[in-house]
Chain A
Amino acid sequence: MLALLFILFAGMAIGCALAVVAQRNPLYSAISLIGVFVSLACLYVMLAAPFIAAVQVIVYAGAIMVLVVFVIMLLNVEQEERRRNRLKFLVPAAVVLAAVLIAEVAFMLQSVANPTPAVSNIGLTGSIGAQLFTRYLLPFEITSILLLMAIVGAMTLARRGGLLSSEARLVPGAQQLPLSMVDPRATPDDLTLVETDSSEEAARLLGVDPRNTERD
């Protein structure tokens, strides 16, 4: 019975994983990846890890894949076009090497000791939490620092740059910024040349703080 369930969920996982690679539309790949995550969550339940299974569905299939689908929709990704296969002569070598690799893996798996799983409570939320907050507190804290770094990094990447590029600076006197000093990413199409008499006025027009323009 359990073996049948394993074959069912393993088949689902492999099929969905193949679909992730085979699909040309990234949106279909994402949906297939959710299928992989859900079938892996079912396998975790079979392995007596209900907490990990729940986190798998909530965090992976829920949060991360929603983010991925959101980005796919936002960028309006087109289908990948088929490209020429330039390395066709390597296909027989690849087949032979893959067969050797599969034989090696099968040989290794033959010799794996097969301990029998006993019914236990190691996968329950309480036992995981007890270990996480006592003996493995340091990895837990490192994880929180990693998440903080990810937040800062994502905000830095998502922030829009100012009108001026990093090479641009205000010089006293008449302000005529060459176009090469203006950040092209932030430039509106109808950019006009404005002459000013002082740095302060130029800074006011550009919307920057004149005290910050002196760079060392």
Chain B
Amino acid sequence: MEPQLSWYLALSAVLFTIGVTGVIIKRNVIAMFMCIELMLNAVNLTFVAFASFFQDVIGQLFVFIVMTVAAAEAAVGLGIIIAIFRNRESLDVDEASILKL
């Protein structure tokens, strides 16, 4: 039996839900950041699955662009995390609930 499109969509939904759960229940900034990466990857899987099953290259192009956005997010996000840690000596998001440094 060949894998169906719905299998990939279900897997993507599961991965996205795990990512959302992580963002909600984690308090460490870096762990939340990694859960966001997980959500981005779940969306990428949907794009690639649709591109493959409908024979359209656009889906894969947008996966490429999403990866670029993720790289930019990693650079700026980790810079922000280091700035927060330098000021507060902590990575707990509840400590950084006031955005003022």
Which residues in A have some Cβ–Cβ distance to B below 8 Å? 2-3, 6, 10, 13-14, 17-18, 20-21, 26, 29-30, 33, 36-37, 40, 43-44, 46-49, 51-52, 55-56, 59-60, 63-64, 67-68, 71-72, 74-75, 77, 80, 83, 105-106, 109-110, 112-118, 120, 122-123, 127-128, 131-132, 136, 139-140, 143, 146-147, 149-151, 153-154, 157-158, 185
Contact = CB atoms under 8 A, between A and B. Distances in A.
28 contacts: A3-B3, A10-B11, A14-B18, A17-B15, A21-B22, A33-B34, A36-B38, A40-B41, A40-B45, A43-B48, A47-B51, A52-B44, A52-B64, A55-B67, A64-B37, A64-B70, A71-B81, A106-B10, A109-B10, A112-B4, A112-B6, A113-B5, A114-B4, A114-B6, A143-B68, A143-B69, A150-B72, A158-B79
Nearest to A37: B41
A153 B6 contact: no
A26 B25 contact: no
The A interface is mostly helix, strand or loop, or mixed, namely helix
B91 A77 contact: yes
Contact of B30 (A6, A21, A26, A117): A26
Contacts, number: 200
